[in-house]
Structure 1
Amino acid sequence: MILDVVITLASLAAAAAIAWVVRGRRARNGVPAPGPRRVLFPFLGRSLSKPALQAALRLARAEGATLVPVYLAEVPRHLPLDCALPGQSAVALALLDAIEQDARRCGVPVDARIEKGRDSRHALREMMAHERYDRIVLAAETANGGDGFSPDETAWLLANAPGEIVVLRPDRVNGNGRHDARERPVVASAA
């Protein structure tokens, strides 16, 4: 009986010590504990939209939310959906690492993911099925077809995803070297 009490007290002391160390580590790193709110940041391809990432980080920080960057990996149809994709995995890990570094500098907690699908729309569908979130922030593709979501993918997401969706289109400069007033971030909410 006394041995059980001693073991229980030792376990409680160990748990308190672990909690104290973890809390101290978070405070030293300047990253708050993950909050209940989550901002999804899906992306694909080989590069990131810095403006979209910065917008996602600002929103997450303002709301005390966790940023959930999700790399969408396309799996060719002739391969099983759960197969290894070493090339895409290397790209994804490098980009996710860059996001985590930016988030750490901003004091935003991160919970990174890789989601597979047959195409980007299928991967988006899988992401929405597997993740809990309050808002999605994504980048529209650039005028030269660079990494980002196509108008069709963006329209599909707006029509099918619950919650708020923020779409950022890259800023364009008109022929006069001035920003076109119509080229501002597009914000939409799908309920």
Structure 2
Amino acid sequence: MQGRLTDATCPGIQEEDRLRRLLDPVVTSRPRECHDGTREGALKRIENWIDNSDEKNILWISGAPGVGKSALSSTTVSLLRDRQSSPLAVFFIRRQGDRDPQLVWRTIAYQLALSFPSYREHLWKRLREDTRTEGVKQQFNNLIAIPFAHIYRHGHSGFSITTPVVIIDALDEC
């Protein structure tokens, strides 16, 4: 986010409650970050990837369990929040109940709606009373693809950079 939070950038409590009710997102705590002075090369490569619009738009970090992928994701979230330049959504899979693939797009839509007013405006036009009954592909189209297609076609307000960053940790556990 850029600048101060205002009514234009932050949904009101009633609007946030309605979003939460309709999308039923997962709210989890972030894992620990990397220890100071560690993973600096990997973090620099991630930052360069985010800053380079010519790169492919998906970065997949893989590795054996316990090597620090979650810590790397969590540290990346902090770096991006410090930069305050891009809408950001994060999905950390932590509990058995989080492992439903249908939760991913609803949670990402909810988080993007909280930080990106133009997206929130277009999302309201697409929301149905219950997105939980839609399949994963239909959820992606209704909650992510179509609202962003409208934003890119008709312009946006609220951010100097329109490319959102979405971090999904432990997707392989879904």
More strand by share: 1
More helix by share: 2
> Whose RCO is larger (CA < 8 A, sep 6+)?
2
What range is the shorter-chain TM-score in? under 0.3
Instruction: Find the structure with the greater CA-based Rg.
Output: 1
Q: TM-score of the superposition, structure 1-length normalised?
A: 0.26
